[in-house]
Amino acid sequence: MIEALRFEFSFKTITTNSFRVKSLIGQYDLENKDTIQTFKGNHKLPENWNIGLIVGNSGSGKTSIAKNVFGDFIKLNWNDRPLIDNFKDDLSMNDITYSLGSVGFNSVPYWLKPFHVLSNGEKSRAELARMALENDLTVYDEFTSLVDRDVAKSMSHSVQKLFKRLDKKFIAVTCHYDIKEWLQPDWVYNTDEKEFSLPKSRGANGSNLTLQKQQKNLGTFISNIII
């Protein structure tokens, strides 16, 4: 079990003296020298946690840090059979439908389609549903990057509830700060500020009530199953 967000690594960029490099350096008055970018941190994680968030702008090192600490990301294999047939054989249909519904993938006819024909947002939800059932730890890169922001907030709320109910661990790696309130992480590492924090626990109200109002305006509810 990983008890700390502990990492130390560097990236070295070696410049060359090609014609294009010299031209670009001259045009923008840049320095032609090798650079080293170092990432270092050692932060103790809470004893009992389910949701983590690594957030920062593109190029701030969040993906590299996540891989350095937690290893390579899980890559799921999907075949051309219906989506539900890609889940492990020892899972019940109740398990599968519960997980799919919990991540906001509520259109039953689409569960019968193969993975490759789904939209990017639907693929993200399907991946999350499988990972939650099949793995004790899920690290998801570019979380909510392929959906609009209203859906991103709804998905974040659903995902954190699912992983907490299953008592499993989920780490969102993302450039989107707007999901923090909805994801309700137990710990956060901000790669822009190089800052680790333990947000105060949120009650059942607040975000939930806002979410319900937002979903009502959209005409959808997480718990709905569309047939």
Q: What is the per-residue pLDDT across 88-111, written as a single tens digit (0 to 9) for each?
A: 999 999 999 999 999 989 999 999
Q: What is the pLDDT of residues 119-152, one digit of tens each?
A: 988 999 999 999 999 999 999 999 999 888 988 9
Predicted structure pTM score:
0.84
For residue 173, count CB atoms less than 10 angstroms from its CB and return exposed for 0-12, middle for 13-18, buried for 19 or more. buried
What domains, with CATH codes, occur in the chain? Answer: 49-218 (3.40.50.300)
Angle at 132 between CA 128 and CA 133, to 5 degrees: 125
The DSSP code for 74 is P
R_g of the chain computed on alpha carbons: 20
Closest CA to 98 of 47, 163, 44: 163
Q: Residue 201: its pLDDT value, please? A: 58
**Count of CB atoms situated within 10 Å of the CB of 190:** 17
